[in-house]
């Protein structure tokens, strides 16, 4: 009977040790989980920061392209107005020369 009691005590000790080991493992899992969440949150924050930087750079590039396009459009419009004025001046000269020629014929 003493053998059964020794075995029972050993089994009870094993169960108690397993319980404490399980509790220790649960704590280790919670610690590891907290570390993983911390690293994941840090990674997400870094990615969001990089996204903000990239979006800012893209916005600046787009604004520059728009400004360049507006400047080019204004230049083209100014050149067109200048060409229009030159054409009008040439046409006026041609009309004046024709009128002068017609008047010279009459006189």
- Pairwise CA distance, residues 97 & 46, whole Å: 76
The helix or strand, by DSSP H or E, that contains position 1, with its residue range, turns out to be: none
Query: What is the number of structural domains in the chain?
Result: 1
Q: Is residue 100 part of a domain?
A: no
For residue 15, is it within any domain?
A: yes
- Tell me the per-residue pLDDT of 50-74, one tens digit each, with 9 for 90 and over: 999 999 999 999 999 999 999 998 8
| Angle (nearest 5°) at CA 10 between 24 and 8 | 125
Mean pLDDT of 64-90: 85
Predicted TM-score of the model (pTM): 0.51
Q: Is residue 94 part of a domain?
A: no
Domain that holds residue 13: 1-76
> Greater confidence, 30 or 3?
30
Q: How confident is the model at residue 23 (pLDDT cuts 50, 70, 90)?
A: confident
């Amino acid at each position: 009977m003493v053998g059964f009691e020794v075995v029972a005590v050993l089994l009870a000790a094993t169960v108690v040790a397993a319980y404490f080991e399980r509790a220790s493992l649960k704590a280790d899992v919670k610690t590891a989980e907290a570390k993983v969440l911390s690293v994941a949150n840090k990674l997400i924050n870094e990615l969001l920061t990089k996204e903000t930087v990239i979006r800012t750079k893209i916005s600046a590039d787009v604004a520059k392209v728009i400004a360049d396009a507006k400047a080019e459009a204004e230049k083209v419009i100014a050149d067109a107005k200048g060409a229009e004025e030159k054409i009008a001046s040439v046409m006026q000269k041609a009309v004046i020369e024709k009128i002068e020629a017609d008047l010279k014929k009459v006189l």
